[in-house]
Amino acid sequence: MLRQLHYVAVSFLLFVAGPVPADEISVAPGNGTLAAAVAAAADGDTLILTDGAFYGAVTIDRSLTIRPLTRSTDALIDAVVSIAGEGISVTLQGLNFSQNVELYQAASVRLLENTWVAGSVNANSYRTDEGDGSLYVVGNEFSSGSILNVSTDNAYIAGNVLLNGAINTLSTVWIVGNDVRRAGSRGINATGGGATVRILGNRVECALGNSFQCLYSSASSVLIAGNIVTIDYRAEVMMPCTGFKQPGPDLRRFSIT
């Protein structure tokens, strides 16, 4: 009887207390300040960055949101950021980066409305112990970097602007409404033997010499619709130009202008 009463009392206290609320933690710029804040944070906390530059490599190994104080806050992370933690959910939103964000392990990663003045997103090793992690790369701008080696089967890449880069995927993915400019040999490159790929409503700009595979897919199941590939005919002619390469796609409203 006493054991039952003890169990009821503990359950009641847990119900009244509820889950521990997440904290919002202000982080000042400097060398190692962001890494220290990540190490001190608890799962579910939000780190709010103030104006300035944040130096020192950062490994995010717990569920966190990292964002600036306001939309006008100029917070620059001048370091490699690695996301690596079993079952974690990470959101990076509204930040500036000057080096790579490397994805290794998580249950969910959301990269939203960030700016890369240099560096790329590299998802080549992104996995979870339970299976592929979900990945949302939405509304970002890359000055010279790319979205590389997306190998998770739950990826959504949408509304990004790549001023001098490319999108490279190896798995089942949605690639929607991106603006890829001054691309190299492949502006959008979607491969993967067993992958299902949807490439919809993108704009891809290539120089004529590189445009033979400006939009390329060798995935096993592909829907390509509403994309516009622009070829710069002022570039030196190096090889025949079609702007597109894909064996037997479902091709609709594809145009070269």
244, two tokens: 């597109």
Choose between 179 and 249: higher pLDDT. 179
Please report how many Cα atoms fall inside a 13 Å half-sphere around the Cα of residue 150, on the Cβ side. Answer: 30
Count of CB atoms within 10 A of residue 90's CB?
24
Domain ranges (residues) in the chain: 75-256
Cβ neighbours for 204, distance < 8 A, ≥ 6 positions apart: 180, 183, 187, 188, 214, 215, 227, 228, 229, 230
Instruction: Phi first, then psi: give them for residue 177, nearest 5 degrees.
Output: 65, 30
Tokens 């790319």 correspond to 146
Q: Bridge partners of 224? A: 199, 251
Q: How far is CA 98 from CA 126, 131, 161, 244, 257, in A?
A: 21, 30, 16, 32, 33
The pLDDT-based confidence of 132 (bands split at 50, 70, 90) is: low
Q: What is the pLDDT of residue 27?
A: 98
98, two tokens: 């000057």
Nearest to 245 by CA among 178, 157, 185: 185
CA-CA distance, 134 to 126, in Å (whole number)? 9
Q: What is the pLDDT of residue 95?
A: 98
Give the range among 23-37, 79-93, 195-209, 243-257 with minimum mean pLDDT: 243-257
DSSP structure string for 10-74? HHHHHHHH-SPPPPEEEE--EESHHHHHHHH--TTEEEEE-SEEEES-EEE-S-EEEEESSTT--
Summarised one tens digit per residue, pLDDT across range 186-243 is 789 888 777 889 999 999 887 655 545 678 888 888 888 888 887 765 544 333 334 4
CA-CA distance, 98 to 243, in Å (whole number)? 31
Q: What is the pLDDT of residue 255?
A: 42
For residues 128, 130, 136, 140, the Cα torsion angle rounded to the nearest 10 degrees is -10
Q: How far is CA 248 from CA 212, 216, 220, 251, in A?
A: 16, 12, 10, 8
Average pLDDT over every residue of 127-140: 78
Residues 182-216: b if buried by 16+ CB within 10 A, e if exposed:
bbeebbbbbebeebebbbbebbbbbbbebbbbbbb
Calculate the average pLDDT of the chain.
81
Residue 182 pLDDT > 90: no
Summarised one tens digit per residue, pLDDT across range 60-85 is 999 999 999 999 999 999 999 999 99
CB 23 within 8 A of CB 46: yes
pTM over 0.85: no
Measured over the CA atoms of residue 156, residue 158, residue 164 and residue 167, the dihedral's sign is: positive
